[in-house]
Amino acid sequence: MKNPSTDFQFKLLATDGAARRGEITMPRGTVRTPAFMPVGTGGTVKAMYMDQVRDLGSDIILGNTYHLMLRPGAERVARLGGLHDFARWPGPILTDSGGFQVMSLAQLRKLNENGVTFQSHIDGRAYEMTPERSIEIQGLLDSDIQMQLDECVALPGQERDIERAMELSLRWAERCKTAFGDQPGKAMFGIVQGGDIPRLRERSATALKAMDLKGYSVGGLAVGEPQAVMLEMLDVVCPVLPAEKPRYLMGVGTPDDILKSVARGIDMFDCVMPTRAGRHGLAFTRHGKINLRNARHAEDHRPLDEESDCPAARDYSRAYLHHLIKSGEFLGAMLLTWNNLAYYQKLMQGCRDAIEAGRYADFVAQTQVGWEKGDIAPL
């Protein structure tokens, strides 16, 4: 159901230490934070119906600018009514900028001040992605939150390369802001870069804050560095970013990453982990991770979690799930993805409730104890 608000707004409802409980309101709906956004790379959350995704408590999903640009094409999506109608998702959508492919497709691209030239991994065709074109594509997709184009550097990296990419990303942020203009009800987020170097992270966050954007994200983490480094960078960045704007940690992550990042003031997350793990036979539960490929589940009558509200976790035996995964049946990926997204959304609801109750630290401790009781460690 659409929200009557005609503008993009963020309201902070409660805090517990640095952890924040809030709401983002947009014309297409309200996003309860802390929020986990299922990744719908190509206009679909893999192995899920959109109705299922919504029913699990997802307020917002993520779409990928690069992949949708290649197939079916942003102009085609626009002619078909935009990504919401195309994918049958009426709520808010955040689109990334395509910037991550600057790093992940390093063998297929050339980068300069103007932008990035990609060679399609599908057919080899060349595409140019400038800050202006990235915003144009996201506008054609009609997403509600659009990300600036940035350059993401893999870690560990050379300080000179990290600083150059950070400075380039700041210049691109200015160009994206100009290209985005004033779009009521929508937002463009800047992306804090700077690798694992505190002074560069602080410089990036300070410069983006001065641009007075509607929201801010932290990029370039969970790209090979230890968790401790990621958390150290959040400790640097979050105090610099304005408290009245939402904060989004891109591409993160494990349940433990999320819990510890919420404790530092992060409001939004996305990650392919729950869906990708489901397709590979791995289930996230309150008892920890369960690998359904393991032969010891072959005659286990127990469900993944008899107390879960999700039918995939409650109504199917581990033996049956093991059989589906070992047999390569599509239903195995569908059920485990359903279970995993249910677990992630339940975790986020637990975070929100605990912050409101002023007991977030207790919630984290209880959740971690639940994992320790399981038959596989959570991380």
Q: Per residue in 65-76, pLDDT tens?
A: 999 999 999 999
Residues 293 and 201 in one domain: no
The one-letter amino acid code at 347 reads L
Please check the confidence at residue 56 and state whether its pLDDT lies above 80.
yes
Contacts of 313 (CB under 8 A, 6+ apart): 283, 285, 303, 304, 305, 339, 342, 343
Is residue 3 a part of any domain in this protein?
A: no
SS3 67: helix
Active site residue: 16, 59, 96, 257, which one? 96
Is residue 288 a part of any domain in this protein?
A: yes
Is residue 1 a part of any domain in this protein?
A: no
Give the mean pLDDT of 156-161. Answer: 94
Residues 103 and 237 in one domain: yes
Please check the confidence at residue 26 and state whether its pLDDT lies above 80.
yes
Please check the confidence at residue 186 and state whether its pLDDT lies above 70.
yes
Q: Please state the domain count of the chain.
A: 2
The model's confidence at residue 121, banded by pLDDT at 50, 70 and 90, is: confident
Stretch among 79-88, 103-112, 273-282, 303-312 having the lowest mean pLDDT: 103-112
Q: How far is residue 298's CA from residue 209's CA, in Å, rounded to a whole number?
A: 54
DSSP 46: T
Stretch among 99-113, 186-200, 225-239 having the lowest mean pLDDT: 99-113
pLDDT at site 241: 98
Residues 255 and 218 in one domain: yes
Is residue 2 a part of any domain in this protein?
A: no
Domain boundary pick from 240, 270, 300 = 270
Q: How far is residue 54's CA from residue 47's CA, in Å, rounded to a whole number?
A: 14
Which residue from 61, 60, 159, 149 is spatially nearest to 101, judged by alpha carbons? 149
Residues 266 and 282 in one domain: no
pLDDT at site 163: 98
The model's confidence at residue 378, banded by pLDDT at 50, 70 and 90, is: very low
SS3 264: coil
Q: How far is residue 145's CA from residue 161's CA, in Å, rounded to a whole number?
A: 29
Q: How far is residue 154's CA from residue 221's CA, in Å, rounded to a whole number?
A: 9
Contact between residue 293 and residue 327 where contact means Cβ atoms under 8 Å apart: no
Residues 257 and 290 in one domain: no
Q: Provide the annotated binding site for substrate.
A: 96-100, 150, 193, 220
The model's confidence at residue 362, banded by pLDDT at 50, 70 and 90, is: very high
Is residue 378 a part of any domain in this protein?
A: no
Residues 51 and 188 in one domain: yes
In the residue annotation, 212 being an active-site residue is answered as no
Between the CA atoms of 298, 302, 304 and 307, what dihedral angle is there, to the nearest 10 degrees? Answer: 180
Residues 319 and 256 in one domain: no
Stretch among 89-98, 115-124, 326-335 having the lowest mean pLDDT: 115-124
For the chain, percent of residues with pLDDT exceeding 90: 84
Range of the domain at 45: 9-270
Which residue from 176, 30, 26, 21 is spatially nearest to 98, judged by alpha carbons? 176
In the residue annotation, 96 being an active-site residue is answered as yes
Active site residue: 59, 196, 267, 270, which one? 270
DSSP assignment of 113-182 equals: SS-EEEEPTTT--EEEE-HHHHHHHHHHHT-SEEEPP-----SS--HHHHHHHHHHHHHHHHHHHHHH--
Residues 181 and 40 in one domain: yes
Residues 261 and 140 in one domain: yes
The pTM of the full predicted model, rounded to 2 decimals, is 0.95
- What's the token pair of residue 100? 């991550």
Q: What is the CATH number of the domain that holds 46?
A: 3.20.20.105
Domain boundary pick from 246, 270, 294 = 270
Please check the confidence at residue 1 and state whether its pLDDT lies above 50.
no
Chain mean pLDDT for the chain? 94
Residues 253 and 133 in one domain: yes
Is residue 17 a part of any domain in this protein?
A: yes
pLDDT at site 98: 82
Is residue 361 a part of any domain in this protein?
A: yes
- What's the token pair of residue 50? 């959109």
> What is the CA angle 303-309-313, rounded to 5?
25
The model's confidence at residue 5, banded by pLDDT at 50, 70 and 90, is: low
Please check the confidence at residue 209 and state whether its pLDDT lies above 80.
yes
Please check the confidence at residue 105 and state whether its pLDDT lies above 60.
yes
Contacts of 216 (CB under 8 A, 6+ apart): 189, 190, 191, 192, 205, 208, 209, 241, 242, 245, 246, 247, 248
Residues 147 and 256 in one domain: yes
For residue 128, what are the β-bridge partners? 117
Q: 275-304, pLDDT tens digit by residue?
A: 999 999 999 999 999 999 999 999 999 999
Domain boundary pick from 236, 251, 270 = 270
Residues 331 and 263 in one domain: no
Give the mean pLDDT of 105-127. Answer: 82
* Residue whose pair of structure tokens reads 């463009």 in the numeric block: 188
Is residue 51 a part of any domain in this protein?
A: yes
The model's confidence at residue 122, banded by pLDDT at 50, 70 and 90, is: confident
Q: Provide the annotated binding site.
A: 96-100, 150, 193, 220
* Residue whose pair of structure tokens reads 């206009």 in the numeric block: 43
Q: How far is residue 285's CA from residue 374's CA, in Å, rounded to a whole number?
A: 9
The model's confidence at residue 107, banded by pLDDT at 50, 70 and 90, is: low
